[in-house]
A and B are shown apart, each in its own frame.
Chain A
Amino acid sequence: MVSERVRRAREAVSTVVDPEIPVLTIADLGVLRDVTEQDGTVEVTITPTYSGCPAMSVIALEVELALAHAGIEDGRVRTVLAPAWTTDWLTAEGRRKLAEFGIAPPEATSSRRALFGEPAAPPCPRCGSGDTEQISAFGSTACKALWRCRTCREPFDAFKCH
């Protein structure tokens, strides 16, 4: 049975967005794992996307602020590593928002590819063409790679498949 306080807390923290991809909420990203109440304390569990993701400390702070704004004073943020976040945790809604924002969403299932295997080409988020090429496996943030569309010639970010 979920208490009214937990329901309110969940609603409040669900609106916290990723500071680097502000169209995605932490719920869309799958970074928000759980909201529970123990001995009168609301605990929000989050998980990092990448080991060195600098957004995590900002997200933790935003979660605390969101709780305070919702009138929950003694909220606590807990970070867990297991089960490890993968791009499979991105919700369908999150994938749709990413594409709309101009970032190619990751393939539906994460898997390790061979050392020199070609990455699967994401369709261009602008024109939809499948004729795209990777410029760099490392992009502007830890979670993105840099691609280019051969049809419309525009460069774009693609969410890395992890």
Chain B
Amino acid sequence: MPTTSITLDETPLVLHLLRRADDALILGHRLSEWTGHAPTLEEELALANMALDLIGQARLLYAYAGSLAGHDEDQLAYLRDARAWRNCLLVELPNGDFAQTILRIVLFSAFMDPCWQATTRSADPTLAAIAAKAEKEVAYHLRHSAEWLIRLGDGTEESHRRAEAALDALWPYSGELFEADAADQAMIDAGIAPDPATLRGTWDATLADVLARATLARPGDTWMQTGGRTGRHTEHLGYLLADLQYLQRAYPGATW
């Protein structure tokens, strides 16, 4: 394993796989940070299980991207600098409180649920096979997080206040999920990936349903944050990577 950072030849397909994989790994890493700190034992298991699903999805996607780009999954996870990460900004933000952690899973899963379902019909058989596993897992994540958000929003004055604050904080990061650049368009045209614009209606309907049950008002249209898909990240990603990549950076090629 090389000891220095790698750069990749990002064909549209490799870039698409990295965007999906990086979303999954970074959110999985964030959820794993709750291990040992969750409010109840059942929630501890739930957050760890969701983290495991996401990291598992990331591994399948990295293995495929790596087979096309000439790297293995570990190199893709451990040897890319922040500017080479293609995840959306939403997933790299710190967990915040429990309400913010839950709301992020709702926003992300409400998008990934129809996205993975549509991807099961991808013209790329490997990606379709990964989607067939992921779409079942994300359905659990969406249901679990949505049920929590309803309990928080429609709970006590304090839990409602926190859920509302989380919604205000994270909403401007939801727009990036629907972005499509030239590389994405090439994947859409080839029938490999769904057009995110076609997922908007499902996402809107899910959010409308969940927010109404949670007695939370949907924030109005606002300026949306952007940049993650092209490597322009918040400062938080650097700290996360320092943690995630520490061992392979300090002891290059270490195995056990």
Contact = CB atoms under 8 A, between A and B. Distances in A.
A84 B142 CA distance: 21
28 contacts: A50-B53, A51-B57, A51-B134, A52-B54, A52-B55, A52-B56, A53-B56, A81-B60, A81-B126, A81-B129, A81-B133, A82-B132, A83-B129, A84-B129, A86-B136, A116-B147, A135-B42, A136-B43, A137-B46, A137-B144, A138-B42, A138-B46, A138-B49, A138-B50, A138-B144, A139-B45, A142-B49, A146-B45
B164 to A, nearest CB: 21
Contacts of B125: 82
A101 B42 CA distance: 22
Nearest to A110: B136
Contacts of B209: 115
A81 B57 contact: no
Contacts of A86: 136
- By size class, the interface of chain A is 20 to 34
B57 A136 contact: no
B140 A137 contact: yes
In the A-B complex, the 5 residue pairs with the smallest Cβ-Cβ separation, listed nearest first, are: A52-B56, A51-B56, A84-B132, A81-B129, A82-B129
B112 interface: no
Interface class of chain A by DSSP = loop
B206 interface: yes
A13 B130 CA distance: 25
Contacts of B200: none
Contacts of B55: 52
Nearest to B55: A52
Interface in A127-162: 135-140, 142, 146, 160, 162
Interface in B171-206: 206
B53 A82 contact: no
Given A135-B42, A139-B45, 5 more contacts: A50-B56, A51-B134, A53-B56, A136-B42, A138-B45
B129 A51 contact: no
Contacts of A54: 52
Contacts of B56: 48, 50-53
B73 interface: no
Contacts of B206: 115
A51 B59 contact: yes
Residue in A52, A85, A146 with the greatest tally of chain B CB atoms within 10 Å: A52
Nearest to A54: B52
Interface in B125-175: 125-126, 128-130, 132-134, 136-137, 139-140, 142-144, 146-147
Contacts of B60: 51, 81
A50 B59 CA distance: 12
A81 B139 CA distance: 19
A82 B42 contact: no
A81 to B, nearest CB: 4
